Amino acid sequence: MLKVHFAGAEQFTYAQIYREAGVRYALFTVFNFICADFGIKGTPQQPRVDHIFPPGFVESSFRRPIMDSGLFTLMFGAHAGKRDRRFIGAWFERLGGDRAAPGARLGVSV
């Protein structure tokens, strides 16, 4: 069975529409929640955090949410650049990369 996950669920308007439409599978990114910690400007469509849901809320609002780490954006996407092992490790740690409880710092479970 194919399950389509609707992207952009961290954005208030998208999540609201998805919930009202009965969407059960959603995808959200944590990029804009943590990019400023690394001196990276968030994407233009999400410049203000008050228009973004906390990841834990997104997780509890949908049956099967998927959290995008933002690493693809950093390495190959809009914010591509040379990233060393130390940077990737720090990003992973900011995601809540504790192997015992990944995502815990962002209020999500994995």
DSSP state of 50: G
Per-residue pLDDT at 42: 73
Examine the pLDDT at 46 and tell me if it is beyond 70. no
* Residue for token pair 């479970």: 109
- Least Cα distance to 97 among 108, 13, 57 occurs for 108
Residue 7 lies inside a defined structural domain of this protein: no
Residue 2 lies inside a defined structural domain of this protein: no
Give me the number of domains the chain comprises: 1
Per-residue pLDDT at 52: 58
Domain of residue 63: give its range.
12-106
Residue 87 lies inside a defined structural domain of this protein: yes
Residue 84 lies inside a defined structural domain of this protein: yes
Examine the pLDDT at 51 and tell me if it is beyond 90. no
Task: Name the H helices within 2-94.
Answer: 12-20, 31-34, 55-61, 71-75, 85-94
Residue 65 lies inside a defined structural domain of this protein: yes
Residue 76 lies inside a defined structural domain of this protein: yes
Residue 1 lies inside a defined structural domain of this protein: no
* Cβ atoms of residues 34 and 40 within 8 Å: no
Residue 6 lies inside a defined structural domain of this protein: no
